[in-house]
Amino acid sequence: MDVYKTFTSPTAIKQQLTGILNGIMSRKIRILVVEDEAAIRTGLIDVLVYHGYEVDFAEEGPAGLKKAQTGQFDLILLDVMLPGMDGFEICNRIRQDDREQPIIMLTAKTSDDDIIHGLSLGADDYVAKPFSVAQLVLRIQAVLRRAKISIEQQHRIELDTDTYIDTQNLNGKRKDEELSFTRREMDILQYLHTHSDRPITRDELLSKIWGYAKDLDIETRTVDIHVAKLRRKIEHSSSDPKFLITVRGAGYRLNIK
């Protein structure tokens, strides 16, 4: 039965297609280098290309800001002292549009004040010149890793330290066990999660998830069956639920920390 489902459910097919498309569309990580000193800029570009990154560059402030605002970069390496507009100003302007853009400042200034100023404007990290290539590459990898994790975390509901749900990929993990959910199951979890401050009645779930009008006399067992299925997946013991709890006379609530 499970095998049959794997090949026929629209969700499974969609997941498989998404996986294939992600493979086809996987692209190089794009880095923008904004640096006016030609020797440093050329050196940086060589190193980054060598490490498999796709690199674009700007030689002065305003051009750097324009590329940062119009291009899609996974990371921006931003010098502080630049003709036209300094790196602090550029960082500040980028942050006004995009709070998530990873930025590493390259600074010749090593005084703590400058570093603190750069970080307070929203740079993710800084590297003081002169820097070693190895050190820079490690910093780049760390910033990219944190950015990736923060994107993943936006789709993640942590039920406890052993259990999470990935709302985007319709899967999750309970201890070492892989979980997978149908779109409808995930809709229920997401709805309960968004409203975890209060119990949700069966009627509300039927109306919000299934789209049934409230005055229709629908079999509320539909909801209970889905809840039972969800409990078998997410609970450590489905007979003693800790996450998807019943609030007597009021409905269901997602109990998260």
Least spacing, CB of residue 87 vs Ca ion, in Å: 8
Minimum Å gap between C-beta 112 and Ca ion is 20
How many residues contact Ca ion, by CB under 5 A?
A: 3
User: What's the closest the beta carbon of residue 40 comes to Ca ion, in angstroms?
Assistant: 8
Query: Cα(51)–Cα(11) distance, rounded to whole angstroms?
Result: 37
Binding mask 74-93 for Ca ion (x = CB under 5 A): -----x-x------------
Q: Which is nearer to Ca ion, 36 or 114 (CB)?
A: 36
The H-or-E segment that residue 82 falls in is none
Nearer to Ca ion, 82 or 143 (CB): 82
Q: Are 142 and 125 in contact (CB under 8 A)?
A: yes
Residues 116 and 113: their CA atoms lie apart, in Å, by: 5
Nearer to Ca ion, 87 or 251 (CB): 87
Strands (E), 43-182: 54-58, 75-79, 103-107, 125-128, 156-160, 163-166, 171-174, 177-180
Distance CA 231, CA 234 (A): 5
Q: Which residues pair with 247 in a beta bridge?
A: 251
Residue with tokens 């010098």: 79
The gap from C-alpha 10 to its chain's centroid, in whole angstroms, comes to 25
**Which residue is closest to Ca ion by CB?**
81
Segment near Ca ion (CB under 5 A), from 30-38, 69-77, 212-220, 236-244? 30-38
Which one of residues 12, 15, 36, 85 is an interface residue with Ca ion (CB under 5 A)? Answer: 36
64 binds Ca ion (CB under 5 A): no
Among 7-15, 33-41, 65-73, 95-103, which window interacts with Ca ion (CB under 5 A)?
33-41
Q: Which residues bind Ca ion (CB under 5 A)?
A: 36, 79, 81
